[in-house]
């Protein structure tokens, strides 16, 4: 709770019921706060368990970057939300957590979100020669190979 | 842009060269490609290229409802598919608040631990195969076959299980299953001495693994290493103990740890883990109660309340996390799988630097990667 | 003195032709049977059945031969054609020559050379060259790595190999294989020179590139090592050469340490082949039991353990012989 109290840009911190949702705390932060927040987590012995993105452009006009920090023993799982404008890029935290090198590449690959100061931002799961601008996990993604309708909900 | 398959001569030095290990190579355990920068046989740097086995599971999740996604998790890691399959069920159950009957919980524990043993046995075989010993592979597969037969009888599949259901399991187990499982445990305990004599005590095996591929302690925090690799670095962390899910808190078992962090102790940790799994299975077989094997009242429509859910289980390779974002509809808004091999594989550039080509093979084998799990 | 093959045939060319025919026929059948033996043995070690076509699975080998012969010989575009094509022939040729050196019994010898041991070591050196041709000519990094490893390994292990032979030569006071075998009256040299025998069998396993020293073709590291780019019968030649080389080193070990054809009750050739194949089974047993050594460990083992040990053994032998 008090972990991030002194950092500017941490807009909101809420406690979550771990037994129902698996997280202990949720922090909503701004773009500037990401690096100091990450550094704080690093200094307090957390590791970056997971990092991903949500495509909320339709509802809110944003990409929501999700960082999940966790301690090793007696898990304390912190969820960090960083909402960014689809046109802007986020700062990379790969210099603090090298694990985020690949995770940021995956987010870039799947959502097209850029990361500043990333050591080597390129596609990771899709082929390097995949068409620019084709990012599969976007909600409006259309398979460039089929050139037709993307596989919708008609399963 | 240079083609992906270009064989590049190093511009700076004529003494070094690049070698593509994979995507098709006998010991990359699937379609993984390591771009090695070599000086003679010494590895200067490694650039793992992944994604050859990408099957878009996360995209699929956004196009299916929760039940339709059920067969997918076991395909993510086909070696320990049961754990993933049941882990996904448990994630949904917690999000929906579904109560699971006692008997189903016990069945799940037995199935999970049998699957963990079979996964570790496959690791043992393929690891030794990487080191050039062919025979232990068949001994390990001999034992693994027994597990597959036992699970095949009740689940109907041998590898990519879809045994879990929201609220329980597909089919009840019978007495024969429990009897076979107990017999397997008795048999398997006699095999450890054999494996130790044939493999662990072998001088060449020790030469090849002791002090090779050491994970420095700072990698734990930097990369989030988990599973046997983590426990081989002296950290006694196991999701089954730290955040007990299901009924794991009822069982008496230890977390094996070793200090050195090299290939050899990773092997020891996995051998010990098999022992502990046998212990758990024996307790579960003894205590399993009668009763329903699936919750009588499971909601027809699986619609978790709007919000974010995280659930992690200890797979054979480490901490497998499922992160679900629900918007209150039938279909997940976002489903992200945190796979242990992805994190463990990300350490490779640090771990492999300065080792020999033969060591690279040993290290890859010892961290027990499953490439489709990295690629998802 | 044993009878020379020239004594059977009055004509020189007839003798040469007969020799080649016998050796070719023997090596082919031998390789086929050894592959069968290795498969069956591996299967037994691994609790499998092994090949089952025909009686005892013997027909399997014939099918495999037909398959190898009928496969297309692919020559990749990027290879050095001369080296690439010459290597499979070159690896097989020395083996054929070496086969003629062994005394099978007190009377059965193709030709007894007075310096047969030196000749044998010299001709078997060609083997390395062929492997290097294959690796270099394939123009493939895995093949080249395999070839480099093979050259380094074979050169390193030749030294302990020779150092373990010298005490035997000193004791027998002869460089002829017939002479060495003949000198072992009563006690075979394996009992008098156990250290040399152990060094010899280890070095011989390394010389034939067999597990646990099979690093030039380490499957899990180098795909197939120096013969990665070979297919069909060209690959078959490397395969044949491996098994024929086993015959050579085991034959040499039999002559040097086990007294050649000597043994009670049974005729000489029977004893000779029993000993040779017993040693081959021992080498197969190694292969299916041990993991593979790493390259640097392999070299270290040769230079730090085997060579000093062989030298000490040589020194002791010299003193003892001098005192007697």
Q: What is the largest CA-CA distance in chain B?
A: 71
Site from B310, B321, B327 to mutate, A interface, most A CB atoms within 10 angstroms: B310
Residues of C whose CB is below 8 A from B27: 220-221
Residues of C in contact with B142 (CB under 8 A): 47
Helix (H) or strand (E) holding A49: strand A47-56
CB contact under 8 A, B59 and A153: no
| Residue ranges in chain B whose pLDDT is less than 70 | 1-14
Question: pTM for this structure?
Answer: 0.86
* Contact by Cβ (8 Å): A38, A29: no
Counting as contact any 3 or more CB pairs under 8 A, the partners of C are: B
Q: Is B36 part of any domain? A: no
Model pLDDT for residues B160-172, shown as the tens digit of each residue: 888 888 888 888 8
Asked whether B81 and B173 are in contact (CB, 8 A), the reply is no
Please give the backbone phi and psi of residue B93, each rounded to the nearest 5 degrees, phi first.
Answer: -60, -40
What is the pLDDT, as a whole number, of residue B117?
Answer: 92
Entry field: residues in chain C? 324
Cα gap B58→B42, rounded to integer Å: 38
d(CA C145, CA C155) in angstroms, rounded, equals: 16
Domain presence at residue B8: no
Which tokens go with C312? 């000490």
CB B290 within 8 A of CB B103: yes
Contacts 24+ apart (CB under 8 A), B54-57: B54/A125, B54/A126, B54/B375, B54/B376, B55/B372, B55/B375, B55/B376, B56/A136, B56/B376, B57/B337, B57/B376
Question: Which of B211, B213, B358 is best to mutate for the C interface (most C CBs within 10 A)?
Answer: B358
Tell me which chain B residue has its CA closest to the CA of residue C214. Answer: B132
Instruction: Say if B205 falls within a structural domain.
Output: yes
Q: Which residues contact B12 (CB under 8 A, 6 or more apart)?
A: none
Residue B23 DSSP code = S
Check pLDDT > 70 for residue A2: no
B323: CATH:
1.10.645.10
CA angle B57, B60, B66 (to 5 degrees): 105
pLDDT of residue B34: 87
pLDDT (tens digit per residue) in C4-20:
666 666 777 887 888 78
Q: Can you give the residue range of the structural domain that contains B286? A: 55-374
Instruction: Decide if A11 contacts A81 (C-beta within 8 A).
Output: no
pLDDT > 70? residue C194? yes
Q: What is the distance between the alpha carbons of residues C279 and C200, in angstroms, rounded to a whole number?
A: 12
Query: What is the pLDDT, as a whole number, of residue A132?
Result: 79
For B120, what's the count of Cα atoms within 13 Å in the CB-facing half-sphere?
28
Determine contact, residues C302/C309, Cβ cutoff 8 Å.
no
pLDDT, residue B11, reads 57
Q: For A8-49, what is each residue's pLDDT tens digit?
A: 777 777 888 877 788 888 888 888 888 888 888 888 888 888
Question: Does residue C175 register a pLDDT over 80?
Answer: yes
What does the pLDDT average to over A93-114? 88
For residues C141 and C71, give the distance between their C-alpha atoms in angstroms, rounded to a whole number: 25
Query: What tokens were used for B121?
Result: 């046995």
What is the mean predicted confidence (pLDDT) over C160-176?
87
- CA geometry: angle at C141 spanning C136 and C147, to 5°? 45
Which of A85, A53, A55 shows the shortest CA–CA distance to A67?
A: A53
Q: In this model, does residue A122 exceed pLDDT 70?
A: yes
Alpha carbon of residue B268 to chain centroid: 16
- Mean pLDDT of the C210-235 span: 79
Vertex B230: Cα angle to B225 and B234 (nearest 5): 140
Q: Residue B224: its pLDDT value, please?
A: 84
Sign of the dihedral defined by the CA atoms of residues C288, C290, C293, C298, in that order: negative
Pairing of strands A25-29, A115-116: unpaired
Cα distance between residue A71 and residue B24, in whole Å: 37
Which residue in B131, B135, B208 is closest to C46 by CB distance? B135
Domain assignment present for B358:
yes
Picking from B69, B39, B48, B49, the residue whose alpha carbon sits closest to that of residue B57 is: B69
Task: Judge: B134–C47 Cβ closer than 8 Å, yes or no.
Answer: no
Best probe of the C interface among B18, B35, B134, B366, by most C CBs < 10 A, is B134
Structural contact between residues C276 and C254, judged by C-beta atoms closer than 8 angstroms: yes
What own/partner pairs with CB < 8 Å and gap ≥ 24 does C186-190 have?
C188/C257, C188/C258, C188/C259, C188/C262, C189/C256, C189/C257, C189/C258, C189/C259, C190/C257, C190/C258
Q: Which residues 107-136 of A have a C-beta within 8 angstroms of B?
A: 110, 123-129, 136
Contact at CB, C291 and B132, closer than 8 angstroms: yes
As for the ipTM of the complex, it is 0.84
Residue B353 maps to a domain: yes
What pLDDT is recorded for position B129? 86
Q: What is the mean pLDDT of residues C237-266?
A: 84
Residue A7 has pLDDT above 80, yes or no: no
Torsion angle of C-alpha atoms C254, C255, C259, C265, degrees rounded to 10: 70
Looking at residue B97, its pLDDT comes to 84
Q: Is A66 exposed, middle or buried (0-12, 13-18, 19+ CB in 10 A)?
A: buried
Q: Do B59 and A128 touch (CB under 8 A)?
A: no
Determine the Cα–Cα distance for residues A29 and B211; give it in Å rounded to an integer.
43
CB C217 within 8 A of CB C144: no
Q: Select from B12, B16, B22 the least CA-distant residue to B37.
A: B16
CB atoms within 10 A of CB C33: 14
- The per-residue pLDDT for B14 is 67
CB atoms B224 and A49 under 8 Å: yes
- Number of domains composing chain B: 1
B126 within some domain? yes
Distance, in Å, from the CA atom of C136 to the CA atom of C74, rounded to the nearest integer, reads 17
- Within 8 A of B309 by CB-CB distance, chain A residues are 21-22
As a whole number, mean pLDDT of residues C183-196 equals: 82
In our burial notation (b when 16+ CB lie closer than 10 A, e otherwise), range B187-196 reads: ebeeeeeebe
The residue-averaged pLDDT of C44-70 equals 85
> Does B38 map to a domain?
no
Q: Mark yes or no for CB contact B27/C291 under 8 Å.
A: no
Q: Which two tokens stand for residue B112?
A: 């999970």
> Does residue C262 have a pLDDT over 80?
no
B31 in a structural domain: no
In angstroms, what separates the C-alpha of A130 from chain B's closest C-alpha? 12
pLDDT reported for residue A151:
44
Q: What pLDDT score does A41 carry?
A: 86
Determine the pLDDT at residue A155. 35
Nearest CA in chain C to B136: C46
Q: Which of C46, C211, C291 sits opposite B202 (nearest CB)?
A: C291
Which residues of chain B does A155 touch, with a Cβ-Cβ cutoff of 8 Å? 63-64, 68
- Supply the mean pLDDT for chain A: 81
Which chain B positions have a beta carbon within 8 Å of A102's beta carbon? 342, 346
CB contact under 8 A, A52 and B334: yes
- Tokens 């009928």 belong to C70
Give me the residue label for tokens 């120096």: C226
Q: DSSP state, C108? A: B
In this predicted structure, what is the pLDDT of residue B81?
87
Q: Nearest-CA distance from C215 to chain B in Å?
A: 9
* Token pair listed for B249: 């808190």
d(CA B93, CA C104): 77
- Cα distance between residue A70 and residue A82, in whole Å: 17
Query: Under an 8 A CB cutoff, do B208 and C223 touch?
Result: no
Pure H helices in B43-101:
57-61, 73-76, 81-96
Question: What's the rounded Cα separation, in Å, for the pair A68 and A46?
Answer: 10
Instruction: Record the tokens describing residue C311, joined without a space.
Output: 């030298």
Q: Are C311 and C163 in contact (CB under 8 A)?
A: yes
Query: Cis ω on the peptide bond leading into residue C212 (within 30° of 0)?
Result: yes
């Amino acid at each position: 709770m008090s972990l991030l109290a002194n950092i500017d840009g941490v807009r909101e911190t809420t406690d979550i019921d771990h037994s129902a949702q698996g997280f202990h705390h949720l922090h909503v932060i701004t773009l500037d706060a990401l690096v100091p927040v990450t550094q704080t987590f690093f200094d307090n012995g957390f590791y970056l368990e997971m990092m991903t993105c949500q495509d909320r452009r339709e509802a809110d006009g944003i990409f929501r970057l999700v960082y999940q920090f966790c301690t090793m023993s007696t898990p304390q799982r912190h969820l960090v939300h960083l909402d960014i404008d689809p046109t802007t890029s986020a700062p990379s935290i790969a210099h603090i957590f090298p694990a985020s090198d690949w995770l940021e590449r995956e987010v870039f690959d799947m959502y097209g979100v850029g990361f500043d100061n990333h050591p080597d931002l390129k596609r990771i799961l899709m082929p390097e020669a995949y068409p620019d601008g084709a990012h599969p996990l976007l909600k409006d993604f259309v398979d460039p190979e089929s050139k037709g309708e993307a596989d919708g909900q008609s399963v | 842009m240079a083609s992906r398959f270009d064989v590049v001569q190093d511009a700076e030095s004529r003494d070094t060269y690049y070698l593509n290990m994979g995507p098709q190579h006998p010991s990359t355990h699937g379609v993984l490609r390591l771009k090695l920068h070599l000086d003679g046989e010494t590895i200067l740097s490694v650039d793992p290229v992944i994604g050859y086995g990408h099957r878009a599971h996360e995209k699929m999740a956004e196009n299916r409802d929760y039940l339709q996604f059920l067969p997918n998790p076991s395909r993510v890691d086909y070696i320990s598919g049961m754990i993933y399959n049941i882990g996904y069920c448990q994630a949904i159950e917690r999000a929906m608040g579904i109560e699971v009957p006692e008997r189903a919980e016990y069945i799940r524990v037995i199935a999970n631990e049998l699957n963990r043993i079979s996964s570790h046995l496959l690791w043992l075989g393929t690891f030794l195969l990487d080191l050039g010993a062919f025979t232990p592979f068949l001994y390990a597969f001999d034992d693994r076959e027994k597990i597959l037969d036992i699970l095949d009888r009740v689940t109907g599949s041998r590898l990519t299980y879809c045994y879990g259901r929201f609220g329980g399991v597909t089919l009840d187990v019978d007495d024969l299953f429990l009897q076979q499982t107990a017999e397997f445990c008795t048999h398997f305990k006699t095999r450890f001495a054999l494996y130790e004599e044939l493999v662990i005590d072998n001088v060449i095996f020790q030469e090849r693994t002791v002090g090779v591929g050491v994970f420095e302690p700072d990698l734990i925090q930097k990369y989030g290493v988990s599973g046997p690799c983590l426990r081989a670095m002296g950290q006694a962390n196991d999701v089954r103990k730290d955040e007990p899910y299901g009924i794991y808190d009822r069982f008496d078992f230890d977390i094996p740890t070793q200090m050195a962090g090299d290939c050899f102790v990773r092997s020891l940790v996995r051998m010990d883990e098999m022992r502990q799994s046998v212990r758990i299975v024996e307790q579960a077989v003894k205590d399993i109660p009668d009763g329903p094997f699936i919750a009588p009242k499971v909601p027809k429509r699986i619609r978790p309340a709007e919000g974010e859910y995280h659930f992690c289980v200890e797979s054979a390779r480490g901490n497998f996390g499922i992160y679900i974002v629900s918007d209150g509809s039938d279909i997940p808004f976002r489903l992200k799988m945190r796979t242990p091999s992805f994190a463990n594989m990300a350490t490779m550039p640090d771990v492999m630097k300065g080792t020999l080509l033969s060591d690279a093979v040993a290290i890859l084998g010892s961290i027990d990667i499953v490439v489709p799990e990295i690629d998802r | 003195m044993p009878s020379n093959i020239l004594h059977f045939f009055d004509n020189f060319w007839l003798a040469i032709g007969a020799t080649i025919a016998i050796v070719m026929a023997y090596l082919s059948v031998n390789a086929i049977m050894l592959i069968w033996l290795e498969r069956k043995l591996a299967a037994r070690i691994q609790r499998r059945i092994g090949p089952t076509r025909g009686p005892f699975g013997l027909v399997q080998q014939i099918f495999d031969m037909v398959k190898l012969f009928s496969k297309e010989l692919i020559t990749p575009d990027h290879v050095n054609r001369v080296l690439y094509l010459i290597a499979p022939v070159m690896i097989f040729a020395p083996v054929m020559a070496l086969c003629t050196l062994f005394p099978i019994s007190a009377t059965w010898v193709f030709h007894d050379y007075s310096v047969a041991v030196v000749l044998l070591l010299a001709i078997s050196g060609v083997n390395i060259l062929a492997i290097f041709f294959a690796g270099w000519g394939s123009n493939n990094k895995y093949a080249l790595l395999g070839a480099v490893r093979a050259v380094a390994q074979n050169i390193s292990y030749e030294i302990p190999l020779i150092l373990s032979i010298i005490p035997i030569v000193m004791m027998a006071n002869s460089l002829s294989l017939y002479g060495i075998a003949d000198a072992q009256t009563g006690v075979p040299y394996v009992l008098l020179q156990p250290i040399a025998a152990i060094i010899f069998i280890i070095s011989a396993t390394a010389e034939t590139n067999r597990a646990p020293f099979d690093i030039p073709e380490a499957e899990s590291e180098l795909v197939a090592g120096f013969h990665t780019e070979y297919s069909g019968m060209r690959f078959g030649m490397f395969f044949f050469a491996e098994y024929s080389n086993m015959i050579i080193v085991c034959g040499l070990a039999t002559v040097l340490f086990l007294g050649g054809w000597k043994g009670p009750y049974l005729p000489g050739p029977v004893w000779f082949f029993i000993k040779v194949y017993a040693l081959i089974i021992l080498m197969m047993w190694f292969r299916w039991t041990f993991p593979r050594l790493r390259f640097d460990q392999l070299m270290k083992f040769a230079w730090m353990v085997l060579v000093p040990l062989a030298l000490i053994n040589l020194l002791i032998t010299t003193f003892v012989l001098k005192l007697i």
